[in-house]
Structure 1
Amino acid sequence: MSNVDRVRIPPKPSLPPSNFPVATSGPPTGALPKLDEMSLTHEQTARSSMSMAVGTLVSRILGFIKGIVLGIAIVGSVAVSNIFESSNYLPNLIFLLVAGGVFNAVLIPQIVKASKNPDKGADFISRLLTVGVIGLLAVTVLVVVLVAPITGLVLGLHGKQLELAITFGLFLLPQIFFYGLYSLLGQVLNAHNSFKAYAWAPVLNNVVAIAGLLVFIGVAGSSVTTEHTVDNWTIGQSWMLAGTATLGIVVQSLVLLIPVKRLGLGLRPKFGLRGTGLGATARIAGWTMGTMVVGNLSFLIILHIASIPTDGMSDSAINASSAVPGVYLLNRAVELYIVPHSIIALSIATVMFTAMARAAAVKDTSGLRNSLSGALRTTGVATVFAAVALIVLSGPFGVLFGGNQETQARQIAIILTILAIGAPFYSINFILNRVFYAQEDARTPFIMQSIVVAISLGTALSVALLPRELIIYGIACTYTISNVIGPLIAHRFLRAKLGDYGGGLILRAHMRFLFAALVSGLAGEAVLALFGGRGTHGFMWQSIPASVLTLAVVGTLMAIVYVAMLKLMKVKELDHAVAPLISRIRMRRA
């Protein structure tokens, strides 16, 4: 998969990454501190990572609720749900193609460098935002004007299905501008160690989206009580479903204007690029853009393949052929499997990326290696367990996000199981790639991405030859294969660049995590059987409340067993992972 975090098909990028750290002591107003004053201590880094994880967790919980409500609203309307999901992916894909990688991986080192200037980087940031906003606006307007040919080319739909996709696109494509604004403002905040607003802004996005879905259900009816089809779909339903989805992104981005103003930089529109250092940014951005283009053009093909199962089928034929999973169900499974990465790995990586950029700026290779090794081991404590837990609990998760419909629940469970295998590797690859960007090396990630894409395209094109009912499962396998191969390639390049960064220690730590997770998984399977997990007619398959109860009981038991096993094996990484949480609890009690 691409090197920038995603969460939809692929999982949407760090957009919205409800995944950026919460502030520890970001500068309020007035003059910004000097570069060395802006550096985070180890304790501050830990608190920032934990705070970010809390903000992300809240957003993910709301995201889960949104997924459940969305399932109730349209999951039974297979054609409409698949068209909406595909259309909702386009803004993310286009943003990633034109700017995503540059915003997320390149700008922080440049802003950090600019902060050493007498004006604390105000001139650089003003010009950067001016160029970025104008460019984003131009791209967004162009894409909206060309919505019909772009939608037809990417989604491969025809007839009334294509007409509905174009309608959705008119509502959803303006998100491109606001994703870009959110990312630009967020990188300015991150570079100045102000993380809180960026972490919590997606919470507002989810609240708005959930409210819109509830209005949709109240006015248009759920998919259980009302048959929503391509033929009877109205413009009012598009406003409620797609319009409120975009409104959430608008709120998420505009709210960041407040904390950016509090930085006290006195930002204002400024034109002209000479003498600002943007030339260096442009050179780095060129390779980053290449990486994003290579990675996401491959997903254009994957998205096109994902539409094959239902392409050309009527509403009645699609609904009758519910044994054929589509894009909607793949997205629900992707949202679930990406959660451990978003809460843990991205939390750690975002804070550590700023620290690594500072270490790279002073040529502190040892500091880079130590940060990388610690980040990988601390992340693995959570991601390895989460992968096993997702496999064991794939059934109740399927019920939860499948609109309480048995067929869709089973399909989500199968897709989630396939994806969960590659979840820890996805986080490892993300962190490894961040080291290159911290050193302002965008060329190596481009080479690595090209290798991974060549392999994944080969598997994806093979998937297109499968029977309709197996294509989505095949795409899930493609994701997992890419996730496993990615860190293997990145390791070889990174070892040549940094030397030994503790690979043996990292591998041994992950083996211990895996052993403890497998023990907890066996315990979870035993208890899951008591809830009727062995067949599709057991208790946990009967309703959404039953699946929630199953998840709570079995998930809690697995976590207890896992922690007990780690304690028994004296795994020190567990203490590193939970220390910020314990510290925060103690401070609140005090």
Structure 2
Amino acid sequence: MMVVMSNVERVNIPPKPVAAPRVPPRNPALVPAPPLAHTASKGRMSPSAARSSANMAVGTLVSRILGLIKGIILSIAVAGTVIGDIFEGANYLPNLIFLMLAGGVFNAVLIPQIAKASKHPDGGRDFISRLLTLGLLGLLTLTAVVMLLVVPIMSLSTSFTGKQLELAITFGLFLLPQIFFYGLFSLLGQVLNAHNSFKAYAWAPVVNNVVAITGLLVFIFVAGSSATNPHTVGNWTTGQSWILAGTATLGIIAQSVVLLIPVHRLGLNLRPKFSLKGAGLGVTAKIATWTMGTMIIGNLSFILILRIATIPSGADSNAGGSVYPGALVLSRATEMYIMPHSTIALSIATVMFTAMAHAAASKNLPALRSSVSSALRTTGMATVFAAMALLVLSGPLGMLFSGNQELVGRQVAITLAILAVGAPFFSINFILNRVFYSQENAKTPFILQCIAVAVLLSCVLIAGQLPPEWIIYGIALSYTISNFVGPMISHRLLKAQLGDYGGGLILRAHMRFLAAALVSGIVGELLLRLFGSSATGGFMWTSIQASVVTLAVVGSAMAVVYVLVLKQLRVDEIDALLNPLINKVRNRIPGK
């Protein structure tokens, strides 16, 4: 049930090109980038890269906050019921199938090819037109085939049976069309990123979340919450499926369609082109083969995980409610655990990826090593603190998704605490793998993925043998173990290829981050005691509102302590990350 995020990367943000119907826009690939080695000569991100990361981080953060609100409302609607686990299992499949069969190609491979094509006299118009035509036809075919096979797919990927399986299949018919629109969103986003237009891609998911939240509020208004009107397979209606699952898909459609506007403004004058001859897709296809293999291996493992994660729902003896933690608990905890990565690490990696690609293309190994080192240190400063915050605040965070039920809140909290330990390592491995892709090397990530999957599946299969009430916790521990192993192997292979990319400097920086995080964690734990964290029925366990108050007070205190300690330790990365955000706020203040 892991949430998988991908984006693509570029460094300089030139002035936005003015769209013109016949004249190709200014080609961002031809705009001279500042000397990468110089911009990172002091081991810091360039100001433009930091600003771009900050802009993307703000958009992503808003989207993630709305996503959390959506998760809270979903929990109010169906938490503590088998319906919640069935919906979560079905809603996970479109994303998984897309990522397994197409996502890796779209997200990790296309940006270097689009960047190369943009050097052509037509600004890449012909290549992108052919690419979009081929991609959309492939997505349409894939979506149609999957929907025709919804019954065997749902039967094989989940442990639901009987009426539970029938409802999962119904949800699937509403949700599986998302595959096409996930692909459309990804394709259009890569075109924008290749032309240094990051904002729309980062902000489009906000539209998705607004639509989905509206749909959930309508559902609660019509059908009631799980606390006031417990939803069961027996009393569920087709109309409720339309509202719950239909609006979820409507949000994905809106997220994709909204990108058509900024793509049109690029002035590329794209048209459907069905001939592939001379399009230069041969290199893309070669790289895509390895990347697709990587995604298939990785996501096939998540199908097995999904099947094991749905075992507790079938084993639960409570016909109306759900006593054991299930797919809904795992998904909510995973969303929280992945949030620091998707907000900070992904934004930094998106901006730094093209810097790596340019350095790799020009065989400039010092610049490539410098970019990697800078990205890892800047990311680590945020993710190390985030991991500590998730660990310490797992209780009130769990209550956010409890539907005001302490049992569910504690289940999410335990799962989140286990996942939080491996969060920084997940981001580290993500960035290291992007270095291989920047060199158009998709074979090595495939090998790394196979190793990671072997470790993960070994642990998950063991977790599947646990009693039903422990299975979700075992899966969470499997993720954490896999996250530890991944960067160790990636580091060894990358060091053999690039040489020393500043490992000592990176390690020392992370040690300072950890020291500051430990101080903030101790402060947070002491403050939590004042909010009844150690007592059953304590204040923070009483309601969602109480958990929000607890998070606001304790989380703010932890953040302030962390920043102050980093300042005392003279950590340069704190300025590189915060200054663009601070300047943005100052510029909006009247008179400044």
After TM superposition, the score normalised by the length of structure 1 is: 0.95
Q: Any stretches of 5+ residues in structure 2 without a counterpart?
A: 40-45
> Does structure 1 residue 215 correspond to structure 2 residue 218?
yes
Distance change in 2, residues 1:272/1:446 (3 Å): same
- Superposition pairs for residues 511-590 of structure 1, below 5 Å? 511-589=511-589, 590=592
**Residue of structure 1 equivalent to 2:43:** none
**Residue of structure 1 equivalent to 2:410:** 410
**Matched residues in 2 for 1:233 and 1:462: separation?**
34
> Does structure 1 residue 25 correspond to structure 2 residue 15?
yes
Question: What amino acid is the match of 2:51?
Answer: R
**Residue of structure 1 equivalent to 2:401:** 401
- Superposition pairs for residues 309-324 of structure 1, below 5 Å? 309-311=312-314, 313=316, 316-317=318-319, 319=321, 322=323, 324=324
Q: Contact 1:20 / 1:198 at 8 angstroms: preserved in 2?
A: no
Displacement of 1:318 in angstroms is 6.3
**Residue of structure 2 equivalent to 1:244:** 247
Partner SS, residue 228 of structure 1: coil
**Residue of structure 2 equivalent to 1:58:** 62
Displacement of 1:10 in angstroms is 1.5
> Does structure 1 residue 109 correspond to structure 2 residue 103?
no
**Matched residues in 1 for 2:19 and 2:405: separation?**
53
Question: What amino acid is the match of 1:273?
Answer: L
Distance change in 2, residues 1:205/1:241 (3 Å): same
Displacement of 1:587 in angstroms is 2.9
* Further displaced range: 241-250 or 571-580: 571-580
Q: Contact 2:72 / 2:401 at 8 angstroms: preserved in 1?
A: yes
Distance change in 2, residues 1:18/1:551 (3 Å): farther
Question: What amino acid is the match of 2:172?
Answer: G
Displacement of 1:573 in angstroms is 1.4
> Does structure 1 residue 337 correspond to structure 2 residue 331?
no
Q: Contact 2:10 / 2:194 at 8 angstroms: preserved in 1?
A: no
> Does structure 1 residue 10 correspond to structure 2 residue 2?
yes
Displacement of 1:20 in angstroms is 11
% same residue: 66
**Matched residues in 1 for 2:229 and 2:583: separation?**
50
Distance change in 2, residues 1:293/1:262 (3 Å): same
> Does structure 1 residue 507 correspond to structure 2 residue 507?
yes
Q: Contact 2:378 / 2:577 at 8 angstroms: preserved in 1?
A: yes
**Matched residues in 2 for 1:459 and 1:540: separation?**
33
> Does structure 1 residue 121 correspond to structure 2 residue 124?
yes
Q: 1:139 aligns with which of 138, 142, 145?
A: 142
Displacement of 1:27 in angstroms is 2.0
Displacement of 1:196 in angstroms is 1.1
Question: What amino acid is the match of 1:270?
Answer: K
Q: 2:201 aligns with which of 198, 208, 232?
A: 198
**Residue of structure 2 equivalent to 1:183:** 186
- Write out per-residue CA displacement over residues 23-82 of structure 1, whole angstroms, 9 at most, x where no aligned residue: 7733231323242317478322211110000001111111111111101101032x1000
Q: Contact 1:22 / 1:51 at 8 angstroms: preserved in 2?
A: no
Q: 2:31 aligns with which of 37, 48, 51?
A: 37
Partner SS, residue 118 of structure 1: coil
**Matched residues in 2 for 1:424 and 1:401: separation?**
23
**Residue of structure 1 equivalent to 2:433:** 433
**Matched residues in 2 for 1:308 and 1:110: separation?**
43
**Residue of structure 2 equivalent to 1:484:** 484
**Matched residues in 2 for 1:580 and 1:175: separation?**
35
- Write out per-residue CA displacement over residues 454-478 of structure 1, whole angstroms, 9 at most, x where no aligned residue: 1111111111111111110000000
**Residue of structure 1 equivalent to 2:262:** 259
Displacement of 1:313 in angstroms is 4.7
Displacement of 1:19 in angstroms is 11
Q: 2:282 aligns with which of 279, 282, 292?
A: 279
> Does structure 1 residue 420 correspond to structure 2 residue 420?
yes
**Residue of structure 1 equivalent to 2:74:** 70
Q: Contact 2:130 / 2:273 at 8 angstroms: preserved in 1?
A: yes
**Matched residues in 2 for 1:22 and 1:405: separation?**
48
Displacement of 1:586 in angstroms is 3.4
Distance change in 2, residues 1:360/1:124 (3 Å): same
**Matched residues in 2 for 1:92 and 1:110: separation?**
24
> Does structure 1 residue 270 correspond to structure 2 residue 270?
no
**Residue of structure 2 equivalent to 1:3:** none
Q: 1:48 aligns with which of 49, 52, 68?
A: 52
**Residue of structure 1 equivalent to 2:307:** 304
Distance change in 2, residues 1:289/1:362 (3 Å): same
Displacement of 1:312 in angstroms is 5.3
Q: Contact 1:429 / 1:487 at 8 angstroms: preserved in 2?
A: yes
Displacement of 1:150 in angstroms is 0.8
Displacement of 1:149 in angstroms is 1.0
Displacement of 1:365 in angstroms is 1.6
Q: Any stretches of 5+ residues in structure 1 without a counterpart?
A: 1-8
**Matched residues in 2 for 1:531 and 1:114: separation?**
58
User: Structure 1 runs of 4+ off > 4 angstroms?
Assistant: 17-24, 38-41
Distance change in 2, residues 1:134/1:39 (3 Å): farther
Q: Contact 2:232 / 2:319 at 8 angstroms: preserved in 1?
A: no
Q: Contact 1:385 / 1:517 at 8 angstroms: preserved in 2?
A: yes
Question: What amino acid is the match of 1:585?
Answer: V
Q: Contact 2:8 / 2:349 at 8 angstroms: preserved in 1?
A: no
Give the CA RMSD over aligned residues: 1.7
Displacement of 1:533 in angstroms is 1.0
**Matched residues in 2 for 1:10 and 1:528: separation?**
28
**Matched residues in 2 for 1:354 and 1:231: separation?**
53
**Matched residues in 1 for 2:416 and 2:124: separation?**
45
> Does structure 1 residue 327 correspond to structure 2 residue 327?
yes
Distance change in 2, residues 1:468/1:22 (3 Å): farther
Q: Contact 1:18 / 1:59 at 8 angstroms: preserved in 2?
A: no
**Matched residues in 2 for 1:499 and 1:333: separation?**
37
> Does structure 1 residue 86 correspond to structure 2 residue 78?
no
Displacement of 1:317 in angstroms is 3.9
Question: What amino acid is the match of 2:405?
Answer: Q
Q: Contact 1:68 / 1:400 at 8 angstroms: preserved in 2?
A: yes
* Further displaced range: 247-256 or 145-154: 145-154
Distance change in 2, residues 1:358/1:20 (3 Å): closer
How many residues are paired up?
Answer: 576
**Matched residues in 2 for 1:335 and 1:277: separation?**
38
Distance change in 2, residues 1:269/1:55 (3 Å): same
- Superposition pairs for residues 328-477 of structure 1, below 5 Å? 328-477=328-477
**Matched residues in 2 for 1:72 and 1:182: separation?**
29
